[in-house]
Amino acid sequence: MARPSQLHAALTLEEFLRLPEIDDHPYLEFVDGRIEAKVSPQKKHSVIQKQLMMNLDAFSQPRGLGETFPELRCTFAGRSLVPDVVFLTTDHIQADSQGELINETFQPPDIHVEIASPDQPAKRNRDRLQFSTANGCPLGWLIDPERKTVEIFRSGGSRERLTEDGVLEGAPVLPGYRLPLTELFDWLKVRRIKPSGSDSPDPGAPIS
């Protein structure tokens, strides 16, 4: 089977955005004139994506600060990327004259999150986050479920690596947001839901 970059040679960004299959699975991205396919997520990736979005929204939405979006296509600075999680501040969530969301996002994320997959080169994720934070994104996170680390990318080129005893902070986009990495990676533990009427203890307890 031909690779995505072989199916459509020498496309412009505008031509790429008109392709009918770019939002099929796997999602296609446009990077420096190449078409690349995203890696399909597995369980650890999906759980972190889901729980992180709920955690960010629980902090941001009551304060009117913004909202998270899963795999939202962001087209800016000559690329069209589909980050694993995008956070947009309220003033960057555009609406039409009827007050409904405008689908297209022609701007960088306010927070760009990538979640590492075992079969995906780390260099690819770092390149994406470096690109975003060099082109208008204030904050990027690379979450590695296997190594239990998070790399922080900031505009201006600074980088920081947090280990499992660190705390993920949302400044400058979400001042006051704090997520201990022990809590983040605890989401990966298997939990069983207690059936209604069951006498089994601790419905949310991890399996030992």
pLDDT of residue 208: 47
Residue 68 has pLDDT above 80, yes or no: yes
Question: What's the pLDDT tens digit per position in 12-54?
Answer: 999 999 999 998 888 999 999 999 998 888 999 999 999 999 9
Residue 115 has pLDDT above 50, yes or no: yes
What band does 79 get if pLDDT is binned at 50, 70 and 90?
A: very high
pLDDT of residue 198: 59
Kindly state whether residue 22 falls inside one of the protein's structural domains: no
Contact 162, 148 (CB under 8 A): no
Spatial neighbors of 193 by CB under 8 A, at least 6 apart, are 203, 204
Question: What's the pLDDT tens digit per position in 169-178?
Answer: 999 999 999 9
Domain count, the chain: 1
Contact 51, 84 (CB under 8 A): no
Kindly state whether residue 5 falls inside one of the protein's structural domains: no
Kindly state whether residue 81 falls inside one of the protein's structural domains: yes
Q: What is the pTM of this model?
A: 0.87
Residue 114 has pLDDT above 70, yes or no: yes
Can you tell me the distance from the alpha carbon of 174 to that of 50, in angstroms, rounded to the nearest whole number? 19
pLDDT of residue 16: 95
Kindly state whether residue 33 falls inside one of the protein's structural domains: no
Kindly state whether residue 203 falls inside one of the protein's structural domains: no
pLDDT of residue 6: 44
Domain that holds residue 167: 40-186
22-31 long-range Cβ contacts below 8 angstroms, 24+ apart: 22/73, 22/80, 23/73, 27/71, 27/73, 27/82, 28/4, 29/79, 29/80, 29/81, 29/82, 30/75, 30/79, 30/80, 31/79, 31/81
Kindly state whether residue 206 falls inside one of the protein's structural domains: no
pLDDT of residue 41: 86
Identity of the amino acid at 131: F
Kindly state whether residue 122 falls inside one of the protein's structural domains: yes
Point out the least confidently predicted range of 14-28, 73-87, 192-206. Answer: 192-206
Kindly state whether residue 87 falls inside one of the protein's structural domains: yes
Q: What is the mean pLDDT of residues 190-204?
A: 65
Kindly report the CATH number assigned to the domain that includes residue 99: 3.90.1570.10
pLDDT of residue 195: 73
pLDDT of residue 197: 65
